[in-house]
Structure 1
């Protein structure tokens, strides 16, 4: 149940050290996760719910320079806990080497009220192995 998407480092993504800035990695993590939701969740769920990140754990294993492409992979290995679940991710270079990996904790919100909601088995099912 792994979802993949590619990202290419643009000039604006590069920091003073000559590689992708940490804030850009966070943006790519969010874009990857949101694309996974948009690709798999039923339209009714997308209209009714929105996700909020409550925690990031990110391990930087290698650098990415301008023009380099990485493949982001994300998956949800475990069932949700109440309103939250952990989404794992990693980014691999074209050489297959790991650049970044980690886990984000997401919380489900009712789009209309902004209140936390328990993740039902129906909502989780498309993302579970």
Structure 2
């Protein structure tokens, strides 16, 4: 299931080169992933579990200036492996050109104990539909 969200570059997102700073792209990757989780996970899962990033791999393909909008989309292409799954993220400008692509690996933790958990099929199902 692909999830989409629009981001607009604010003045504080811009670096000395006049475009969105790399750290902002990382923040947007995290924001869209969390929004996807909140949109599709049932309330009992959101209360019981929390996801943590274990790896980001990001390709920067274009620049975005202040006031420009990008559409972010994210999806989980494959079933989980143990406590982890990979998430794909792509940001495209108004012209449809890809600005940033990422693969991020996430691990599932028990919110109460902080312990790593194997991702059960019912937790993964909303992402793989």
- TM normalised by structure 1 equals 0.99
**Which whole-Å CA distance do the structure 2 matches of 1:126 and 1:26 have between them?**
24
**Which whole-Å CA distance do the structure 2 matches of 1:18 and 1:69 have between them?**
15
Residue 126 of structure 2 corresponds to which residue in structure 1? 126
Residue 31 of structure 2 corresponds to which residue in structure 1? 31
**Which whole-Å CA distance do the structure 2 matches of 1:64 and 1:96 have between them?**
13
CA RMSD of aligned residues (A): 0.4
Residue 43 of structure 2 corresponds to which residue in structure 1? 43
Task: Indicate the SS of the match to 2:17.
Answer: coil
**Which whole-Å CA distance do the structure 1 matches of 2:39 and 2:10 have between them?**
25
Structure 1: state its 5+ residue gaps: none
Equivalenced residues, count? 129
Moved over 6 A (4+): none
Give the deviation of 1:102 after TM superposition.
1.4
- TM normalised by structure 2 equals 0.99
